[in-house]
Structure 1
Amino acid sequence: MSIQRVRSKRAKTDALLADPTLREHVPDTRAFQRSTVEQMLDQYEMIYVKPVNGTFGNGVIRVEKSNEASQPYLFQSGEAKYAFVSFDQMFRKLLDVKKPKPYLAQQGIDLLKYAGRRFDLRIMVQKNPKGRWESTGMIGRLAHPRKIVTNYHAGGTPMSVPTLLKRHLTTEQRKACEARLSKLGVETAEALAKRFPRIKEIGIDIAIDLRIKPWILEVNTLPDPFLFKKLPDRSVFRRIYSYAVAYGRFRVRKRKA
């Protein structure tokens, strides 16, 4: 049986929203349209617009509203920044800059920072050889200093979770936070599997806000396991890879005699 892949961010978000426990960890996410962007900026002051189908942070744009600025509307795409006096001006430019494909608008989360740079976390969750969901790895992703996304392929820096959290939490608090995130990872996989029963692995992008609340930004059903080779503890990658071999994502290479 082949491993199921789900490209649509909307379909995965809907599956999570159907779970009462997970719903509180999912940012407000709506179809991209003019009225939605305007309403969400008034409500949250920062939102992200992102392609419904997309990877590596490609096409993601951060849009902000600051009532105290002379140009209150601004957005950033890649390293390019734009500022505008009116919403109409901003939205016209936004339509020019975004890719010509369906988009979502998502509530912006104020991420924790390390050395002045935003970071989020990637949690790897897999079916183990006994057929149970298990959180097998956790890694931090530190954003490029001039970009809004944390993805490694967009210039983000992989870092260990303890390193990123040590300035925000005590050792005991950090361990409790990591245990909570591991549990959230399993709950997320179980919720998605109800809608997509043939999935075997997921990578969850988690934002930690200033109150240390975790938010599920995105779920990837074709996560990059090799990112975890960047961790000092190589046993994490070895476990992830061995599980992936067990459920058929990778084949074991036979050594030549």
Structure 2
Amino acid sequence: MAIQRVQSKWAKTKVLLQSEQLREYMPLTKRLEPETLRSMLDKYGMVYVKPVNGTFGHGVIRVEHHPGGGARSYTFQEGTSLASCGSYEELHRRLLAKIKRRPYLVQQGIELLRHQNRRFDIRAMVQKNGPHWETTGLIGRLAHPKRIVTNYHSGGTPMDLSMLMIGHLQGNELHEFEEKLRRLGVAIANQLQTAYPGLKEIGVDIAVDTKMHPWILEVNTLPDPFIFRKLKDKRVFPKIYRYAVAYGRFRKRSK
């Protein structure tokens, strides 16, 4: 069976929401509509507007509401470009001009943990090992200082999680947290497999808030395994590659 790919973020979100176990880790996500955007900004103050079928963080927009902010009542940022709007109507009009007719989602904003005042999130690599799923790698992704996304292709820096977690978690607490993320990765894969039985690998982007609660931001069914070469533990990437060879994504490398 060929390796299955699922591009639509909305389709994957709907499958994950069917799991009672996973709902507590899912930020509220809805299709982008005028009143949906307004109500979510009123409730959360900050949201992310994402293309349904985007990759590498392209097209992701961070939108914030600043009550009483006058000409800066609303701000939005895409890439390194930051814009201000004095009203919701102006914000909506400018966003529509930017996204045109492409389908977008609006997602509850999670304030990411920071390292040296830069946001970071976590990528979990989850792969099929025979009939079972296994989380084969965890890596932190440190955002570029001037950007809102952490993706390597958008200037993010892959780093060991232990380095990024300094000041947040260490020692046994960090080990227990990593194990929790590994179990979460497997639970996500098992749930997605109920709808997409041809899946062999997923990359899960996980935000961690200041209360150390993990949030599932996105699931990628064509994850980049090569960022794991940046880890100090040089056993991780060969294992990831070996699993990928076993289910047919890559050819076995000649020595």
CA 1:162–1:240: 2 relative to 1, 3 Å: same
Q: How far apart, in 2, do the equivalents of 1:46 and 1:151 lie?
A: 20
**Correspondence 1:101 to 2:102:** yes
Aligned to 2:37: 37
Which SS does the other structure have where 1:234 is aligned?
coil
User: Are 1:144 and 1:155, in contact at CA under 8 Å, matched by a contact in 2?
Assistant: yes
What's the CA shift string for 1:146-174, capped at 9, x where partnerless? Answer: 00000000000111001111211131211
Aligned to 1:75: 76
Which SS does the other structure have where 1:76 is aligned?
strand
Q: How far apart, in 1, do the equivalents of 2:214 and 2:51 lie?
A: 22
Q: How far apart, in 2, do the equivalents of 1:74 and 1:242 lie?
A: 45
What's the CA shift string for 1:208-241, capped at 9, x where partnerless? Answer: 0010000000000000000101111111000000
Q: How far apart, in 2, do the equivalents of 1:100 and 1:141 lie?
A: 31
Q: How far apart, in 1, do the equivalents of 2:231 and 2:99 lie?
A: 34
Q: How far apart, in 2, do the equivalents of 1:68 and 1:179 lie?
A: 43
Q: What number of residue pairs does the alignment pair up?
A: 254
Structure 1 alignment gaps of length 5 or more: none
Read off the aligned partner of 2:96 and give its amino acid letter. Answer: L
User: Are 2:162 and 2:170, in contact at CA under 8 Å, matched by a contact in 1?
Assistant: no
Aligned to 2:46: 46
Q: How far apart, in 1, do the equivalents of 2:77 and 2:23 lie?
A: 28
Aligned to 2:64: 64
User: Are 1:59 and 1:99, in contact at CA under 8 Å, matched by a contact in 2?
Assistant: no
**Correspondence 1:204 to 2:227:** no
Q: How far apart, in 2, do the equivalents of 1:239 and 1:175 lie?
A: 20
Q: How far apart, in 1, do the equivalents of 2:214 and 2:100 lie?
A: 29
Q: How far apart, in 2, do the equivalents of 1:152 and 1:115 lie?
A: 18
Q: How far apart, in 2, do the equivalents of 1:132 and 1:5 lie?
A: 18
Q: How far apart, in 2, do the equivalents of 1:233 and 1:171 lie?
A: 17
**Correspondence 1:5 to 2:16:** no
Aligned to 1:85: 86
Q: How far apart, in 2, do the equivalents of 1:67 and 1:90 lie?
A: 14
Q: How far apart, in 1, do the equivalents of 2:112 and 2:215 lie?
A: 10
What's the CA shift string for 1:56-86, capped at 9, x where partnerless? Answer: 0000000000114222111001111111111
TM-score, scaled to structure 2: 0.97
Q: How far apart, in 2, do the equivalents of 1:227 and 1:133 lie?
A: 20
Q: Over the residues paired in the alignment, what is the CA RMSD in angstroms?
A: 1.0
Paired-residue identity, %: 55
What's the CA shift string for 1:77-127, capped at 9, x where partnerless? Answer: 111111111100111111122254110000000100000000000000001
Which SS does the other structure have where 2:235 is aligned?
helix
Q: How far apart, in 2, do the equivalents of 1:174 and 1:166 lie?
A: 10
**Correspondence 1:185 to 2:174:** no
Q: How far apart, in 2, do the equivalents of 1:65 and 1:216 lie?
A: 23
User: Are 1:27 and 1:106, in contact at CA under 8 Å, matched by a contact in 2?
Assistant: yes
Give the deviation of 1:254 after TM superposition. 4.6
Q: How far apart, in 2, do the equivalents of 1:208 and 1:149 lie?
A: 14
Read off the aligned partner of 1:103 and give its amino acid letter. Answer: Y
Q: How far apart, in 2, do the equivalents of 1:57 and 1:214 lie?
A: 19
